Amino acid sequence: MRKSNLEPAAKRVARIKSVAIKPVPRSLAPEDRYDANIDHILRSAAAVFAEKSFGLASIRDIAARARISFPRIYYYLRNKEELLYLISRRAFEQLVASAEHQLSETDDHEERLRAFIRSHLEYHMGNLAEMKVLVREADSLTGRYSTDIARLKREYSRICRRLLESYATSRGKTLDREQARILTSLLFGAMNWFYTWYDPARDYDQRSRIMDECFRIVAGSIATR
């Protein structure tokens, strides 16, 4: 039975796994099959939103991309906005999980900042449609959906800001609140608009250089203070 509040959507997305878009095996347990179908629909929706924009895409477009019947999509989700919310929430949760995993590998301040940049860009390279939607369609959410995604965005940005502050301190520098905010915004600006020029065929082999250049953007600014 579909619910009408925000919490069930959040709980569903917490169980979603990153699997390839493919038919769901009949051997899966019913709950796993349900979650895999949700994942398939979300990935299909992200691809459609990335191509057409949230405003122009329709549920019929998404159903066609997912190769499921138009009425059946409502068994899993209530409407198009919930799809956008779940895509955005899952992206932030995966970004945070990836960052925390990589940060746990080192205590060195420079390596931790580099690890965060690497984690963000690796996710971006592997999920271009989702990142395009996350960056471009954030203002399309309303109400509690918008509030929840804004909270996750602040939490993720806070991780980055603290890494910048710690890196500056390790170099004998100090960032005041506004400097840290500006540098954080500039770094995300460089990383988040990555999808506008990244071409896997041309740029994938240059990924390490791309990550190094993003690091130098902020490290160079901190060094000159």
Task: Express each pLDDT in 91-120 by its tens digit.
Answer: 999 999 999 999 999 999 999 999 999 999
Q: Which domain holds residue 39?
A: 6-81
For the segment 54-64, what is each residue's pLDDT rounded down to a tens digit?
999 999 999 99
95 shares a domain with 27: no
Query: Of 1 and 80, which is predicted with more confidence?
Result: 80
What's the CATH code of the domain at 70? 1.10.10.60
| Cβ–Cβ < 8 Å for 13, 86 | yes
For the segment 61-76, what is each residue's pLDDT rounded down to a tens digit?
999 999 988 888 888 8
Per-residue pLDDT at 70: 86
105 shares a domain with 184: yes
Asked whether residue 1 is domain-assigned, the answer is no
91 shares a domain with 72: no
For the segment 167-207, what is each residue's pLDDT rounded down to a tens digit?
999 999 999 999 999 999 999 999 999 889 999 999 999 99
The domain boundary residue, chosen from 52, 81, 110: 81
CA dihedral 155, 204, 107, 185 (to 10 degrees): -40
96 shares a domain with 16: no
Q: Give 3-state DSSP helix, strand, coil % of the chain, rounded to 5.
A: 75, 0, 25
User: What is the number of domains present in the chain?
Assistant: 2
| Cβ–Cβ < 8 Å for 9, 79 | no
Asked whether residue 138 is domain-assigned, the answer is yes
The domain boundary residue, chosen from 58, 81, 104: 81
Asked whether residue 109 is domain-assigned, the answer is yes
Asked whether residue 35 is domain-assigned, the answer is yes
